[in-house]
Structure 1
């Protein structure tokens, strides 16, 4: 196990380098003046433009400029934004909010999605199964901004069950409605994935053998069939966690959340290259770590999967 973890960590290094270089090259190859957000429409004085270009190596070759950035990145320095503030400070301020939102959305999709999918598989072709299939299809086909807008209006404005916007403290209750909105589409995918895999495993020979040997239906389903059915579900959830961290831009905009999604959106609008690159780099690292954890969970769900 230890050797496997070390090998996977070593494999992450070229992935991080390649991903950050592509992001860096794409962001800093965009047309426009990187200092426009700092000085507004009037533009910065030539002396200040030259100072910023030297500080951020804007006039250097992209490989040289990225090399300078990578050296700082290895030391935990994500650079400074165009206003001279450390990107690490901005990320430390905003990342916990997005992480809390993503974890709440993930818990919602995992619990409700697996439960709905299991009930649909056990009642296949029945009324409950049809209701769940129609409901999940409706969620999948509805854009997230429509779900967010309707939820905000009915549950926040009309019936005043949840806050309309999230406060700066971003407490649990403030983030509950945005988390439900953010995880709503993923709930549908998890439910359908669980239903398909569990329905297939219920017809497998090992489940019939377990029942024939005297195992109760509850233990045969819960201990064997459902456990094996969760392997692709865990894979999707692991992938989706990274997507939730990076894809919460729309939800954060709807509910006025000061998270990493809004930070990336603001950085793109202001052409703040180091803010965008630093935020996306942090997302890449978190995504790789989550994928490693998912791979290790395979061995927990199915002991036949060994990590040598």
Structure 2
């Protein structure tokens, strides 16, 4: 197991280098002047522009800029953004809010999605199955900004059950945006769980368990569901990386001061240092989430070995 983890961590190094290089080129090679609007309605003086470009190495070739950035990254330094703040401090101030939001969305995704999928799989071809399939299809078909706006209107303004905006990012203020963020994933998890559960119900080991006299509930919970969750765990692990990155649309709708909102503002302000630093952290989160999912395979299915 330890050798497998070390090997996977070493494999992450070229992935991080390649991802950061592509991201750096995409961000800093785009046309546009990052000093535009920094001096009000008047254009910035040439001396200020020259000093700004020199401070952030924008006067250097792109490959030199990337080399300087990677030298800082190896020391754990994500750089200083165009407003004089370190990217690490900016992310540290916002990541706790995004983590809370991701945890709520993940819990919604796991408990509601898997439960609905199991019910639909067990009741295959019956009313509950069709109801869950149609409901999930409706959720998938509606854009997330529509779901968020409707949730604000109904549960926030009409019923008054939840705050309309996130405010200071406390747990109760993030419940509604967490449900909205996890709504799309709930639909996919439910359909994926249902499909795998139905497929595994016809497996030989399930027929053997039933022949031994095991109840339907025990057969599903102990045998069928465990193997059916492997592809579901794969999807949840991938989605967890996305949730940890924050959802730009959801955070904008509910004014959540998280990573997604930070990336959105940084793009609007042409703050390339903040964009590259934030997305680099997201790449690391994705890679670590995928590693965790691979390790969980061995727990769910003993036949899978990481030796």
Equivalent position of 1:97 in the other structure: 97
Q: Distance in 2 between matches of 1:85 and 1:37?
A: 18
User: How far is the alpha carbon of 1:37 from its aligned partner?
Assistant: 4.8
Does the 8 A contact of 1:38 with 1:82 survive in 2? no
Equivalent position of 1:23 in the other structure: 23
TM-score normalised per structure 1:
0.97
Distance verdict in 2 for CA 1:78–1:160, change over 3 Å? same
Does the 8 A contact of 1:97 with 1:259 survive in 2? yes
Equivalent position of 1:188 in the other structure: 187
Does the 8 A contact of 2:98 with 2:246 survive in 1? no
Query: Matched residue of 2:39: which SS?
Result: helix
Residue-by-residue CA offset, 1:249-297 (whole Å, 9 max, x unaligned): 1111111111111110101101000010011001110111011000000
Does the 8 A contact of 2:237 with 2:293 survive in 1? yes
Distance verdict in 2 for CA 1:37–1:246, change over 3 Å? farther
User: How far is the alpha carbon of 1:27 from its aligned partner?
Assistant: 0.5
TM-score normalised per structure 2:
0.98
Residue-by-residue CA offset, 1:58-107 (whole Å, 9 max, x unaligned): 12121111010001011111011111110100000011111210111011
Equivalent position of 1:290 in the other structure: 289
Structure 2 unmatched runs, 5+: none
User: Which runs of at least 4 in structure 1 moved beyond 6 Å after TM superposition?
Assistant: none
Does the 8 A contact of 1:245 with 1:261 survive in 2? no
Of 176-185 and 35-44, the range deviating more from structure 2: 35-44
Residue-by-residue CA offset, 1:165-189 (whole Å, 9 max, x unaligned): 1112x11110000000000011000
Distance verdict in 2 for CA 1:37–1:264, change over 3 Å? farther
Does the 8 A contact of 1:198 with 1:226 survive in 2? yes
User: How far is the alpha carbon of 1:243 from its aligned partner?
Assistant: 1.9
Equivalent position of 2:32 in the other structure: 32
Does the 8 A contact of 1:37 with 1:270 survive in 2? no
Aligned residues: 307
Q: 1:36-47 to 2 correspondence within 5 Å?
A: 36-47=36-47
Does the 8 A contact of 1:120 with 1:195 survive in 2? yes
User: How far is the alpha carbon of 1:53 from its aligned partner?
Assistant: 1.4
Equivalent position of 2:131 in the other structure: 131
User: How far is the alpha carbon of 1:40 from its aligned partner?
Assistant: 3.6
Does the 8 A contact of 1:167 with 1:174 survive in 2? yes
Residue-by-residue CA offset, 1:132-153 (whole Å, 9 max, x unaligned): 0000000000000000000000
RMSD of aligned Cα (Å): 1.1
